[in-house]
A and B are shown apart, each in its own frame.
Chain A
């Protein structure tokens, strides 16, 4: 798929390439600058060393004659004797000690003849100076040294020897070096960018493959991502497939729930329709409650309401995804018990919570809404059918955390326990006036999370005992 420039600039490939190229260019520029600088410094240092040697040579041929400093007109080093050789020398005398602020020229090399000598700052005796000046219009490096000479028994002269080297040949060298460096680094940078682009394309190739597979999944031509992917992408592919499967299962469940709901409502709707369509004479109330049209309608409305509630709660419970929340049980239990004590205040129920400490920090591996539904329905059941006492007990086992809810009511006979749990499924099959759908919803939620729900008899209170075994995580307390 060809991308527009705007689209390409948004791609990972472009970003990595642009970043790496920018770094490489910056590195190349800095490298060139540093290398040129180093080279120039080395060149200059070399010139300085050579000039120093030449300076000693010039000083070596200097002598005192008749109370004055003398140097031969021609020096041993030939370049001092050639015009425009680029190498110059001159000697100045400081008369400061004699109270004269002048530095007359004592001698100059033949190479410097006709050129305006630069003004070199005068140095104290024994000191060197290195300066970049102009001699006869051309840039030069100037090495100067000041020394004391004994001109006679009672006269001392202060002389400054200065040697100058034209910079141009060396600067030309540096410029050539710089040009070659720029070309070399430039070529290297381009080559590295190309290599990098190639390696990046190769490295990122699994991503377009993944994208194509996702398009196929959206089009319905395949169900999951397949193929071999690099190690870094494997966890993502695995989770993507798990999420896709979960979404598929959820869609199936919703389809089934709607189908079940539609199917379940048909029976009460049919009854209501028949009741409304019955001829007038047969609608006369015979005295029997089941013949009273109003009661029949109310009964069917109640049944439809129960069916809708049950199916809705079932669909919510079954929509749990692969990503499971952790939910603390104790705060929810406290809220529900508080709510029940409010709602059932007239009954003055006595509520006890046994082994409360065991519940500190316990987190059920379950969505919060589902924990509410389980505990809410079970505890509401105990309050509704208990006489005066409800007891909640926590029991911690290695892999499960059990919440036991007991009441002192009539209990649930063994023969009815399965019926109570399966009641929601049978709402469309039989008349279920009496107990509601609460425990059926609890059973459905437990089935989704694959946790156990047990109904038994309470040994301590004599009524029902309902136990839910949650999978849990212990938070640090």
Chain B
């Protein structure tokens, strides 16, 4: 999943980028509000982390502009001044959650994951469709009672499918979400991963949960697991 981090303090930004990437997120980073707005307008994100005290365009102004443009990306605000007036102002402007500095990285990650799940309509970390289940917190996949061994990229791909069921996801969108805009991955890589994931979640090739829509992309249809269980 791709997230945007808008934080002007370079050390905090780098530490967060490292931590988010280690957790499996693809991260775009911006050092001021105007750059952040540019990224919001150019790319789709699963979530965004926005510091309130930004140069050029402050955090609340950035969030207001993003929401005014109809962008519904879940936003978590970072605030150095732990005053309720500022926290409420940020949430009122359109943010979805807040974390006060200094923060525990684990808390921030948990809140980001919660926002991503919520945006996909899932109240809990575990998403299940019939006999297949995926735990966003523990990053594990089960088919029935059996855990399915998946690599990091395979998990990320599955997690994105699970959070966007029945949606047509183009190759370029999947590339952006899994690799980021600067990566030079071959688009065939996606095909390779799709093939491997299909084998792992549908070993008999009877259910065919991942549809290929020629020229348009892929669609994950989880109802096949519910019908078969």
Spell out A's residues near B (CB within 8 Å).
301, 305, 309, 313, 316, 332, 335-336, 338-339, 342-343, 345-346, 348, 368-369, 372-373, 375-377
User: Is B118 located at the chain interface by the 8 A CB criterion?
Assistant: yes
* Chain A residues near B124 (CB-CB < 8 A): 346
* With contact pairs A345-B118, A346-B123 given, residues A339 and B83 touching in the complex (Cβ less than 8 Å): no
A-B contact sample (18 more), CB < 8 A, given A342-B91, A343-B97, A373-B83: A313-B82, A335-B92, A336-B84, A336-B88, A339-B87, A339-B88, A339-B92, A342-B97, A343-B96, A345-B118, A346-B118, A348-B123, A369-B83, A372-B88, A376-B84, A376-B85, A376-B88, A377-B84
User: Is B114 located at the chain interface by the 8 A CB criterion?
Assistant: yes
Q: Cα distance A305–B88 when bound, in Å?
A: 21
A339 contacts B91, CB within 8 Å? yes
Q: Cα distance A332–B83 when bound, in Å?
A: 14
A373 contacts B96, CB within 8 Å? no
* Chain A residues near B97 (CB-CB < 8 A): 342-343
User: Is B98 located at the chain interface by the 8 A CB criterion?
Assistant: yes
User: Is B215 located at the chain interface by the 8 A CB criterion?
Assistant: no
* Chain A residues near B82 (CB-CB < 8 A): 309, 313
* Chain A residues near B92 (CB-CB < 8 A): 335, 338-339
Query: 7 tightest CB-CB pairs across the interface, nearest first?
Result: A376-B84, A339-B91, A372-B85, A372-B84, A339-B88, A335-B88, A369-B85
Interface residues as binary, B122-141 with A (CB distance below 8 Å gives 1, 0 otherwise): 01100000000000000000
* Chain B residues near A376 (CB-CB < 8 A): 84-85, 87-88
* Chain B residues near A339 (CB-CB < 8 A): 87-88, 91-92
* Chain B residues near A343 (CB-CB < 8 A): 91, 96-98
What are 8 residue pairs bridging A and B, where the CB atoms are less than 8 Å apart in the complex? A332-B88, A335-B88, A338-B91, A339-B87, A346-B124, A372-B88, A375-B84, A376-B84
Q: Cα distance A305–B104 when bound, in Å?
A: 12
User: Is B70 located at the chain interface by the 8 A CB criterion?
Assistant: no
Closest to A346 in B: B123
Interface residues as binary, B77-104 with A (CB distance below 8 Å gives 1, 0 otherwise): 0000011110110011001111000100
Closest to A301 in B: B102
Chain A nearest CB from B78 CB (Å) reads 14
Closest to B84 in A: A376
